[in-house]
Homo-oligomer: A and B are copies of this chain.
Amino acid sequence: MARMMKAAVFVEPGRIVLEEKPVPAIGPTEALVRITTTTICGTDVHILKGEYPVEPGRIIGHEPVGVIEQLGSAVNGYHEGQRVIVGAITPCGQCSSCLDGHQSQCGGRALGGWRFGNTIDGSQAEFLRVPDATANLTPVPDGLTDEQVLMCPDIMSTGFSGAESGRIKIGDLVAVFAQGPIGLCATAGAKLRGATTIFAVDSVPERLAVSRRLGADVTIDYTKTDPVAEILRLTGGRGVDVAIEALGTQQTFESCLRVLKPGGVLSSLGVYSGKLTLPLDAFAAGLGDHTIVTTLCPGGKERMRRLMNVIASGRVDLGSLVTHHFKLDQVEQAYDLFSHQRDGVLKVAITP
């Protein structure tokens, strides 16, 4: 009889519930990880609301910290009992897309590398089956706590990639629109790449305060000041070298373009719905040497190693992002709090 475990399961739009599910069996190239800490992502809320489709019965979650419980026969270089994280995106490393440098689009399918809590069962559970384990299990350096590395699998990797895809250079002026967890990590990433004037835009004072700690030089509350006008004023009309979109709305996307200098890069992280229009005046009718680049969270064990090294070196401290703690048994309460953005929540830590 199958060993059972608790897991947060998507049942139907509006309902993610705690259920008993069998502990997964693994194949030769896979691993089983016992989850010690995980969290909820904005994408999970999209799933909860039925805005992003996953099949009913799917275990949700893609931000695992845990311990190796079992290794497939073809997985080398690890031992059972080892503390690991796994990226939200789990590239196979061996398909044409991965070999060509597009690991997040594994298999040549859009979002193909995003499996956990999407096309296979995810991490909001007691155990997690990890595909292509050799490419994805990443040992946690000694001395780092679960919470310190909890942002690595998704939020930190995504936010930093906004700065990286923006090809920030030393001395760049950068604007980051929205300072939720991803925007905050984009701000930290922009500083880490050498941006020297960072404009961070949001409306929540606590988020703007965290933003300043993570690297923002100027914070703008868009409910009080028009951020486009303000950034253009503060840059003497020059605009920024790189604008990072971290929300996924027409307005923030468009504002990015409006503060961008000719020749600048709009680095987009948000998930858009409905319609997205390019304002041709800000886009110089297509003649402004603009670049618009979108990036899905980079994964794989080398990426995770690098991010944990950022934490271990003390370069960036994302500790303040975890504002609330829940047991896995309380996962429904956690979704309730997080999906309604109550009580100043940034990220929650969930421990089975």
Contact = CB atoms under 8 A, between A and B. Distances in A.
Interface in A190-225: 191-194, 196-197, 217
Interface stretch (A17-25, A94-102, A341-349): A94-102
Interface in A40-72: none
Given A97-B263, A99-B93, A296 B306 contact: no
Copies of this chain in its oligomeric complex:
4
A26 interface: no
Given A99-B302, A197-B309, A306-B171, A275 B273 contact: no
Contacts of A81: none
A306 to B, nearest CB: 2
Contacts of A74: 27-29, 74
A29 B76 CA distance: 12
Contact of A283 (B101, B134, B274, B294): B294
Contact of A109 (B262, B283, B309): B262
Interface string A248-280: 100000000000011100001111111111101
Interface stretch (A176-184, A284-292, A321-329): A284-292
Interface string A101-122: 1111100111110000000000
Contact of A276 (B262, B278, B305): B278
8 contacts: A95-B134, A97-B302, A99-B135, A105-B262, A196-B313, A270-B286, A287-B296, A290-B293
Contacts of A337: none
A103 B27 CA distance: 25
A6 interface: no
Contacts of A270: 286
Contacts of A287: 110-111, 271, 294, 296
A101 B101 contact: yes
Contacts of A302: 96-97, 99-100
B110 A284 contact: yes
